[in-house]
Amino acid sequence: MKKQILATAVISAALLGFSANQAQAATISVSSHGTSYLRKGNTYKLHLKEAGRVRITTKAKYKLGNSIDWNCIPYKTSRKNTKEFYLRAGNYKLTTSSKSAKSFKTSFTKLTKIRKQIDDYPIYKKDWPIHNPAKIKLGQEVKGFTDLFKSYRNGGVHYYQFTLTKPQKVTLTMSGMPLYTGKASSNVSDTNVSLDPQMRYTFDPSNFKVKGEAYNQKHVWYLDEGTYRMSVSVRGRFDFKLAGEDTDQLPCQGKITAAKSTKDGLQVDYDQAEGAENYSLYLYNNPFKNKLSDQTSPIYRNWLIQNNDLSQTIKTNYLVNGVTYQLAVRGEKEVAGSGKVYGPVSEPYSFTYYAPLGKNHQVPAMPNLKVSYYDDHGSDEPYIDLDWQKQVDIDSYEVAFRVKGQKEWTTFFSKQQGGEQIDNSEDKDNICYFTKGKTYEVKVRALRSNLKSPWSAVKTATVTVTPAGKMVTVIMI
């Protein structure tokens, strides 16, 4: 009986001990301003109503994580046992590995109060930074942060712009401190920098990317003179500096020597550019003179197997009959540690492409133009819809339009065989910027190679409602 009582007592004590240990593990809410104690096994919840800086002072070893268990990255401070965290609004949890209880103190400062201290070119809620990048210079030290305000639709990337007056070796020294260290497959905790040349014939400089934190990491570009827009994405704080020095690493400028239409497309010949290992070919056409999209990327790249391969043929699927293109070529090469290096673009070479004439040598018949409006109940951008009957052996159609009262016509060519559309533009200086009361005159003709039909009868369309994401009414005449 004594043994049974003793065994029962031991089991009861064990169960009581287990329950006591369980009771010690608790989830406790803590204030963003206050003092408390950290105990191993407990989870301390911290809720931030808005983005800001959290300072934690404690001798304990601890981790601060977000709601999906990503560790928040701390900043060291000059204060003893104090670290800073720059955090988005949301829920966070604090745990400790220290064996004994340690006091800790928290303090919080709204990001809106310190924004100008940690960002030289702050982005505000209604800003559109990609269209208004901050102007910087070589040698300037820049600091900033991105994607801390959840409600800032355009706050995820910082944009900067700099101009070179001569070819330069540009060295980026970059430090990036993301908010979290997350899963290896996520790019939320990466540091990313890219360049976008702000020129008509653009190209793709190599990107700079570091997984997680970056401390004084360097990246080199060899760049021709011109203006460049630089984007920085970190989701956290960063600082960088661009340094420039003269360079002779760029290939020399090339030159287009000839162009001709063939059954396969448009053959383009060019001279050899000193230092070039391959060539990018450009095909530029901007019929509406749209300033918001006045760029073209390389359409073809030709890697030289032998040094006499100085011709490329642009396939017919890239071409529209009747269009006058501005052709250009740019030499390229690889440089160790920097990737692809681009030389100056050639002077534009103007050429009007006409497909070779087939068996049918007759002048096309005049199209019968109809104007209509596609009623989508305001869910899409408004446009004037054009319709004509398809003809046989037609290579393209030329559409001409103008605002009523103007003398000059704006024209563009289309491969579409049954109709086209004139879209609303976001550029206020563009002829296609629709506003209430504008009346457009439209006409069309057919092309068979360089044989052109008579123009159709002129039709008009009047925009009666200024587009603002709502329905636009067009009156057909």
One domain, residues 459 and 390: yes
Identify the H or E element spanning 269.
strand 265-270
- How large a percentage of the chain has pLDDT more than 70? 85
Q: To the nearest 5 percent, what fractions of the chain are helix, strand and coil?
A: 10, 45, 45
One domain, residues 178 and 84: no
What confidence score (pLDDT) does residue 423 get?
82
One domain, residues 272 and 329: yes
Q: How many CB atoms lie within 10 A of CB 445?
A: 21
Q: 9 in helix, strand or coil?
A: helix
Please report whether residue 100 resides in a domain.
yes
Q: Which comes out higher in pLDDT, residue 307 or 464?
A: 464
194 vs 205: CA distance, rounded Å: 8
Report the predicted TM-score, pTM, of the whole model to 2 decimal places: 0.81
What confidence score (pLDDT) does residue 338 get?
85
One domain, residues 310 and 269: yes
Candidates 329, 308, 339; CA nearest to 253 is: 329
One domain, residues 236 and 126: yes
What confidence score (pLDDT) does residue 427 get?
75
Q: What is the mean pLDDT of residues 279-297?
A: 75
How many distinct helices (H) and strands (E) make up the chain? Answer: 2, 37
Residue 60 pLDDT > 70: yes
136 vs 140: CA distance, rounded Å: 7
Q: Which comes out higher in pLDDT, residue 338 or 242?
A: 242
Please report whether residue 59 resides in a domain.
yes
Please report whether residue 313 resides in a domain.
yes
Please report whether residue 142 resides in a domain.
yes
Q: What is the mean pLDDT of residues 447-466?
A: 90
What confidence score (pLDDT) does residue 24 get?
59
Cβ burial, residue 184 (10 Å; 0-12/13-18/19+): exposed
One domain, residues 77 and 188: no
Structural domain count, the chain: 4
Candidates 166, 165, 171; CA nearest to 195 is: 171
Q: Which comes out higher in pLDDT, residue 180 or 284?
A: 284
464 vs 476: CA distance, rounded Å: 11
One domain, residues 176 and 139: yes
Residue 333 structural domain = 256-352
128 vs 426: CA distance, rounded Å: 14
What confidence score (pLDDT) does residue 21 get?
44
One domain, residues 125 and 183: yes
330 vs 300: CA distance, rounded Å: 11
Q: Which comes out higher in pLDDT, residue 135 or 278?
A: 135
Tell me the range of 57-66, 372-381, 458-467 where mean pLDDT is highest.
57-66
> Which of 112, 142, 170 is the endpoint of a domain?
112
Kindly indicate the confidence band of residue 31, based on its pLDDT and cuts at 50, 70 and 90.
very high
CB 293 within 8 A of CB 252: no
Residue 11 CA, distance from chain mean position: 66
- CATH number where 220 lies: 2.60.120.380
CB 180 within 8 A of CB 73: yes
What confidence score (pLDDT) does residue 308 get?
60
Q: Which residues pair with 38 in a beta bridge?
A: 102
User: Residue 117 to residues 80, 149, 291: CA-CA distances in angstroms?
Assistant: 22, 16, 35
Digit-coded pLDDT (tens) for 61-117: 999 999 888 889 999 899 999 999 999 999 999 999 999 999 999 999 999 999 999
Which residues, 6+ apart, have CB-to-CB distance to 30 below 8 Å? 36, 44, 45, 46, 94, 106
Q: What is the mean pLDDT of residues 251-280?
A: 94
Please report whether residue 362 resides in a domain.
no
> Which of 48, 83, 112 is the endpoint of a domain?
112
Q: Lowest-confidence range among 124-138, 142-156, 203-217, 450-464?
A: 142-156
One domain, residues 100 and 138: no
What confidence score (pLDDT) does residue 299 get?
73
What confidence score (pLDDT) does residue 275 get?
94
> Which of 352, 386, 406 is the endpoint of a domain?
352
Please report whether residue 2 resides in a domain.
no
Q: How many CB atoms lie within 10 A of CB 57?
A: 16
Kindly indicate the confidence band of residue 263, based on its pLDDT and cuts at 50, 70 and 90.
very high
Kindly indicate the confidence band of residue 20, based on its pLDDT and cuts at 50, 70 and 90.
very low
What radius of gyration do the chain's Cα atoms show? Answer: 32
DSSP string, 334-363: EETTTEEEEEEEPPPEEEE--PPP-S--SP
One domain, residues 218 and 128: yes
Please report whether residue 382 resides in a domain.
yes
Q: Lowest-confidence range among 85-89, 102-106, 125-129, 403-407?
A: 125-129
Please report whether residue 14 resides in a domain.
no
Kindly indicate the confidence band of residue 451, based on its pLDDT and cuts at 50, 70 and 90.
very high
Kindly indicate the confidence band of residue 331, based on its pLDDT and cuts at 50, 70 and 90.
very high
136 vs 127: CA distance, rounded Å: 18
Digit-coded pLDDT (tens) for 229-262: 999 999 899 999 999 999 999 999 999 999 999 9
- CATH number where 380 lies: 2.60.40.10
Q: Lowest-confidence range among 76-90, 241-255, 290-304, 344-358?
A: 290-304
CA angle 421, 423, 427 (to 5 degrees): 155
One domain, residues 337 and 287: yes
One domain, residues 69 and 168: no
**Average pLDDT of the chain to the nearest whole number:** 86
205 vs 202: CA distance, rounded Å: 10
Residue 366 pLDDT > 90: yes
Q: What is the mean pLDDT of residues 407-419?
A: 92
